[in-house]
Amino acid sequence: MTADQDQSNQEEQQERSTKGHSLLHGNLSVVNTEKFMIEALREAESAFREDETPIGAVVVHKNRIIGRGHNRTISLSDPTAHAEMVALTSASETLGEWRLIECDLYCTVEPCVMCAGASVLARVRKIYYGATEPKFGGCGSLFQIPLDTRLNHQCEIEGGIMAHESAELLRDFFQQLRLKKANRN
């Protein structure tokens, strides 16, 4: 085998290895994204059981959940107790650091302006969300706060992950709420 043939074989092997690795990494990424979104949905189900708007969130650092939250605005009488805010606070406590560098936020619904802003301030790397929020959305529906280059940090955004499941949970909750109101009257 000539030196040129040997070099060509090595390049082909490296290319195959790289392709295989990136494909595997991509598949693992999809699996992990869904795994973490399922955890956010579990948080949303907790909110539903507590008669809170069923939105859930988890914060992931190095492939490990370090913060969880679901809406608690009613139970805490706190307008800022959104799922994302609770999860970001929990993650900061876990790390002992307010900067959530190398952390990703998974939420069942597109974060509102407040939660999107908090994610930017916390230096979150990427925001994954399920259903869009046309009335309050801060990550694409109304505003794109995490992508605003006027701010000192930007977060990547990926929406539509398990959007059907997230939207269905919200629909069921509000349908149940309307039935409760109708039965009271």
Question: Which are the catalytic amino acids?
Answer: 84
Work out the widest C-alpha separation in the chain, in whole angstroms. 89
Buried b (16+ CB within 10 A) or exposed e, 66-95: bbbbbbbbeeeeeeebbbbbbbbbbbbebb
Which DSSP letter does residue 137 get?
B
Residue 156's Cβ-side half-sphere holds a number of Cα atoms within 13 Å equal to 9
- 62 touches 68 (CB < 8 A): no
- Amino acid at site 72: R
